[in-house]
Amino acid sequence: MSLPVFEIFGWIFICSGSLLTIIGGLGLLRLPDFFSRIHAAGITDTMGAWLIIIGLMFSSTSWLVTAKLVMLLVFLLLTSPLASHALANAAYTRGLRPLIGPDLNPGGDDD
């Protein structure tokens, strides 16, 4: 389990995941609107987390650790999009509308 090619793959995956995590954090901090912030947080929750966990799998030393990482990956794969969808649905039901157009006007059904 300690081939050099595995270490190279681990570097590639973990650095890509860290980069996507940083991009998601910047978007969560900088984007103007709640629904666009969901998009930025979704980058962190999906690809950032998956790439970091896959990179950890390449550098794990036993099969039990790999199995735990697979379980963690499946949990995140199931729960993160579900949480994002439920959050957007709850916000839309409560009357929050996305900003639409070049001037970022609040749009939606009831305009």
Report the interface residues with other proteins, using CB under 8 A. 10-11, 14-15, 17-19, 21-22, 24-26, 28-29, 34, 37-38, 41, 44-45, 48-49, 52-53, 55-56, 59-62, 65, 68-69, 71-72, 75-76, 79-80, 82-83, 86-87, 90-91, 93-94, 96
E strand or H helix that includes residue 31: none
Least distance (Å) from other proteins to the CB of residue 102? Answer: 21
Least distance (Å) from other proteins to the CB of residue 108? Answer: 15
Q: Is 43 within 8 Å of 25 (Cβ atoms)? A: no
Which are the contacts of 59, defined by CB distance < 8 A and separation ≥ 6?
6, 7, 10
- In terms of CB distance, is 11 or 100 closer to other proteins? 11
The four Cα atoms 30, 36, 41, 45 give a dihedral, to 10 degrees, of: -150
- In terms of CB distance, is 75 or 100 closer to other proteins? 75
- In terms of CB distance, is 69 or 110 closer to other proteins? 69
Q: How many CB atoms within 10 Å of residue 57?
A: 20
